[in-house]
Amino acid sequence: MFFNIAIMDVIDVVLVAFLLYYLYRVMKDSGSLNVFLGILMFIFSWLFVSKLLQMRLLGSIFDQLMSVGTLALVIIFQEEIRNFFRTLGSHRQLRFLSRFFSRDKKEDATDVLPIVLACNSMAQQKVGALIVVQRNMSLDDIVKTGETINADISQRLIEAVFFKNAPLHDGAMVIQNGRITAAQCILPVSHNLNISKKLGLRHRSAIGVTESYDAIAIVVSEETGAISAAIGGKLMQNLDARKLEEILNKEK
């Protein structure tokens, strides 16, 4: 009996450690780790003052702050909390849930080849482009900021949209469920200070949208013609057509 209890205690500790580590990884990916650490420091300070030192006046102040702290945190850090749950839902370990419950069976119908050929052609002509390909998380919020297209994926259509004198060439094109849904969409810009200052707004937007959404963002540089792809807030640069096709087939 005692041996069984000891085993269960060990399992309990292992599961708690795994859960804490997983939460740490999710919060780090979502950019909310500093907020979480700040909350932990405040809680430890409250316990130290109220329970260990038993300082009544300061402890009562901490108690009042704790009573309204939850609501204040939700209001102040609503964007960080939203990013945390977005990142939690987009982790690879949980993606099978979204596939299982999703009624849309076209999510794997994205035609990769026209995207690759269009990006390769625009790269050779140094035509700037920004394309966002949806995976599991909906991009409807972003689609609403642009102009609706709702057309089949076509190399010529992609190149026509991003043609330098075209009215829709600014902003991002969004591809959902195997169709070009919208163009001239506005993306969230990453505020990561570690991003190279050499990168322009398109690259920062590509990183920003993949920090907030489970998506793939493709960038064609107007200055150099280089092709880049962003996934999970990480930018892969100087891609050739074969590498881009490999990434899209693997990640889409």
User: Would you tell me how many other CB atoms lie within 10 Å of the CB of residue 192?
Assistant: 12
**49 to each of 45, 46, 60, 65, 78, how far by Cα in Å?**
6, 5, 10, 13, 28
Q: Which residue has the higher pLDDT, 8 or 140?
A: 140
Q: Which residue has the higher pLDDT, 75 or 134?
A: 134
Query: Could you give the 3-state DSSP secondary structure of residue 53?
Result: coil
Inter-residue contact 112 to 153 (CB < 8 Å): no
User: In this predicted model, what pLDDT tens digit does every residue of 72-87 receive, in sequence order?
Assistant: 666 666 665 666 666 5
Where in the chain do CATH 3.40.1700.10 domains reside?
112-251
Distance CA 37, CA 50 (A): 20
For the domain covering 112-251, report its CATH number.
3.40.1700.10
User: In this predicted model, what pLDDT tens digit does every residue of 50-67 receive, in sequence order?
Assistant: 777 777 777 777 676 666
Average pLDDT of the residues in 117-139: 93
User: In this predicted model, what pLDDT tens digit does every residue of 1-19 receive, in sequence order?
Assistant: 555 556 766 777 777 777 7
Distance CA 111, CA 30 (A): 29
* % the chain with pLDDT above 90: 42
The pLDDT, as a whole number, for residue 15 is 79
